[in-house]
């Protein structure tokens, strides 16, 4: 070991892993450390630069709380969260996208066709579609969770003026896989940029905006759970999302309606919405658990 050099240190590290090391752990660690060591060699990283990097990590630790995780945000703005999503998204299903830090457990149940908009200000939208398999057949037993920002660009857990579960709901779908709810057009918003991640964004001339979006978690027995987001085609930040969450297949269209459209009996939306409002039709495709 005393003969270790910059060219042999990577192998020296790998040789430290004992025979009992889990094979997957060994493989992942081997790749991780090899890339890290190559990074230092290729950049000729200086002590000052490495200290700066460590300071960034330290500041992320200082600012992280149960409500705000700067490490996750760092992974998001570096494109790592999205890359992990992409390598794990089956080709034939709806792509997954970042969960983000504003999801909370316990969203209230809403019947299919229910009113999530309530008294929120903003342009009214009816969002509907179906949850189906790759052949287009409806999936039985699907459940959907939805959450989004209010008109001021804030989630309920960022804004004391909103009720705890404002613009959040959970729908249990029927055998037809159809979902439908009323809401408002969510607003674009910025990721928190008052910490080390913001420093990084500003130092590289990047802005902290995300295009507006609706978050969804969709589950169904026997199918891979889908965590995703859907973005309107006319959003100004669609092609410059700070966290790389947009995919072509996650883009939706707002269609303006000037007439009150017929809504089947038993749905709450009809009493609440007056034209003009928007509709969005978006289907989700789930793939089988073991596919």
Residue numbers of the site for Fe ion (CB under 5 A)? Answer: 100
Residue 131 near which of Fe ion, ligand BEZ, none (CB within 5-8 Å, type-dependent):
none
| Cβ 229 to ligand BEZ shortest distance, Å | 6
User: Which of positions 74-113 make contact with ligand BEZ (CB under 6 A)?
Assistant: 76, 98, 100-102
Q: Where are the beta strands (DSSP E) in 75-196?
A: 114-115, 124-132, 143-147, 168-172, 178-184, 189-190
User: Which of positions 180-209 make contact with ligand BEZ (CB under 6 A)?
Assistant: 191
Total binding residues for ligand BEZ by CB under 6 A?
9
Alpha carbons 36 and 235: distance in angstroms, whole number: 37
Report DSSP letters for 199-257, one per residue. HHHHHTT---EE---EEEEEE-TTB--EEEEEEETT-TTTT--TT----GGGEE--EEE
User: Which of positions 219-248 make contact with ligand BEZ (CB under 6 A)?
Assistant: 243
Helices (H) and strands (E) in the chain, counts: 7, 13
| Cβ 72 to ligand BEZ shortest distance, Å | 7
The closest residue (CB) to ligand BEZ is 100
x/- track of binding to ligand BEZ for residues 119-148 (CB under 6 A): ------------------------------
Cβ nearer to ligand BEZ, comparing 115 with 241: 241
Rounded to an integer, what is the distance from CA 100 to the centroid of its chain?
5
β-partners of residue 143 are 172, 219
Residue 243 near which of Fe ion, ligand BEZ, none (CB within 5-8 Å, type-dependent):
ligand BEZ
| Cβ 142 to Fe ion shortest distance, Å | 22
Residues whose CB falls within 8 Å of the CB of residue 157, separated by 6 or more in sequence, listed in order: 67, 102, 104, 164
- Rounded to 5 degrees, φ, ψ at 8 are -110, -5
The residues binding ligand BEZ (CB under 6 A) are 73, 76, 98, 100-102, 191, 210, 243
């Amino acid at each position: 070991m005393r003969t270790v050099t910059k060219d042999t240190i990577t192998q020296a590290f790998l040789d430290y892993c004992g025979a009992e090391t889990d094979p997957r752990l060994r493989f992942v660690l081997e790749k991780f450390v090899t890339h890290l060591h190559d990074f230092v060699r290729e950049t000729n990283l200086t002590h000052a630069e490495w200290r700066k990097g460590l300071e960034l990590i330290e500041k992320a630790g200082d600012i992280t709380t149960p409500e705000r995780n700067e490490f996750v945000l760092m992974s998001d703005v570096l494109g790592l969260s999205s890359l992990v999503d992409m390598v794990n998204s089956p080709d034939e299903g709806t792509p997954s996208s970042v969960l983000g830090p504003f999801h909370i457990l316990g969203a209230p149940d809403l019947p299919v066709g229910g009113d999530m908009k309530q008294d929120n200000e903003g342009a009214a939208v009816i969002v509907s579609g179906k949850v189906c398999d790759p052949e287009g057949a409806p999936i039985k037993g699907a459940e959907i969770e939805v959450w989004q920002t209010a008109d001021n660009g804030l989630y309920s857990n960022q804004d004391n003026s909103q009720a705890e579960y404002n613009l959040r709901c959970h729908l249990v779908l029927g055998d037809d896989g159809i979902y439908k709810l009323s809401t408002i057009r969510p607003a674009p918003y910025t990721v928190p940029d008052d910490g080390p991640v913001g420093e990084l964004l500003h130092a590289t001339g990047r802005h902290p905006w995300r295009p507006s979006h609706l978050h969804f978690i969709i589950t169904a027995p026997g199918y891979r759970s889908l965590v995703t987001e859907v973005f309107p085609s006319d959003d100004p930040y669609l092609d410059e999302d700070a966290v790389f969450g947009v995919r072509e297949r996650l883009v939706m269209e707002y269609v303006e309606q000037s007439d009150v459209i017929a809504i089947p009996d038993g749905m709450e939306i009809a009493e609440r919405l007056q034209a003009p409002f928007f509709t969005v039709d978006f289907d989700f495709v789930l793939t089988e658990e073991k596919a």
